[in-house]
Structure 1
Amino acid sequence: MATTYISYLRVSTDRQGAAGLGIEAQREAVQRYVACVGGNLLAEHVEVETGRSATRPILLQSIAQCRRDRAVLLIARLDRLARSVSFIASLIDSGVEFVAVDNPAANKPMLQMLAVFGEYERDQIAARTKAALSAAKARGVVLGANGKVLAASHKAAAETFAETLRGPVQEAFENGAKTLKDVAWHLNEAGLTTSQGSRWSPQSTHRIVHRLGLRTAAMTA
């Protein structure tokens, strides 16, 4: 009889979750494993959570379904499950069988050891980062300065671009434009594009009109 699996996929941030970053690679690894062993993938659970978090509602749902359906919890990589030794230990104590695709032959003691090394690596990275930041600060480096310079550069470029459109935007108003859609139509008719080379929309037009300080309060899309 084929083994039934419940897969658990995890990404660390909302941004990654929205973009699907990391999920597809995990899903493919899980599907390859299930096909290789001739198993049956009953369900898939996806969670957006940090590795440090001790509360994972989707993981708990996955475990509960494994118990209910007598399934094996399947993950692509051990570090997707947790980097906490105590967390791995508590999962093992729950009695639910689970398999890490990147090391399917690992027994319980080996999984605990892998978790130990993962937790150690995480702590070492955090310590090195903290030491590097402290050393940079001691040398007089203003942390975040590059980001401020880059933001100022982007702002200056946006203001310069907006000024090139002051004449066409004012001309649109003089020709009867009442809404942002009207202004966008005039800019598109003039063959002008956004800084990204796209056609004008009410949203992109609003940013330019606002930056130029022209009639933003009473205008609508």
Structure 2
Amino acid sequence: MLEKEKEALARRIAGEITLSSDPGKTMRKWREIFGVSQTELAEHLGVSSSVISDYEGGRRKSPGAGTIKKFVEALLKIDEARGGNVIRAFSRTIDVELPTSAILDIREFAVPITVEELIEAVKGEVVACEEAVNRVIYGYTVVDSIQAILEMSSEEFLKLYGWTTERALVFTKVSTGRSPMVAVRVQGLKPAVIVLHGVKKLDELAVKLAQRERIPLIVSRIEGEPELINSLRKLAERTEKEV
């Protein structure tokens, strides 16, 4: 199953951990992207969960090549047992960075950030599910909402999620916010947070759909699209410096 993509993903994970100035933090990032608990990972590795915790917290010396190999293999094996969702997500982004013209930018963070940090970066106002903004996200995708409606098929819409759904979908050229929220609801996969840019008059249905799906909905007040993308890229670059 997707052997080429699995091997490429394994190399990516191992490389990031090896080159990281904080390998434990990078290990935690990937464990969380795969949605694996410390206990489950420890069982697959045949160690106690405290060992995983010590690595992630920097209380153990940097893992050697053998430990990293076993760590990566365990994550991939667990993902395959669950249906290979993360591996398939990686396969959608392996060949080209921007698989459709509707995607203006797509990035994965080197370390997870909080939704509060995202709100600050986009000069955002939370209009739905403010109680859920304490979660963390692992990336973002900026989408031209008009191009998405005109061009994207259901299969292409899945490419918005990059490697993980625990990300922000940022829709530009939005007038009311209804269309992006309807599209997200119909597709089934849910992002961790949705940002709307260019809103002239927010539709009440958009807010109600966000509340029903329990997705924090944010309206960005940054003036222009280039400024929005630049601010998000700076946020991604900052996470790279933290690794």
Q: TM-score, with normalisation over the residues of structure 1?
A: 0.23
Q: Which has the larger radius of gyration?
A: 1
- Which structure features the higher share of strand residues? 2
Q: TM-score, with normalisation over the residues of structure 2?
A: 0.22
- Highest relative contact order (Cα 8 Å, sep 6+), 1 or 2? 2
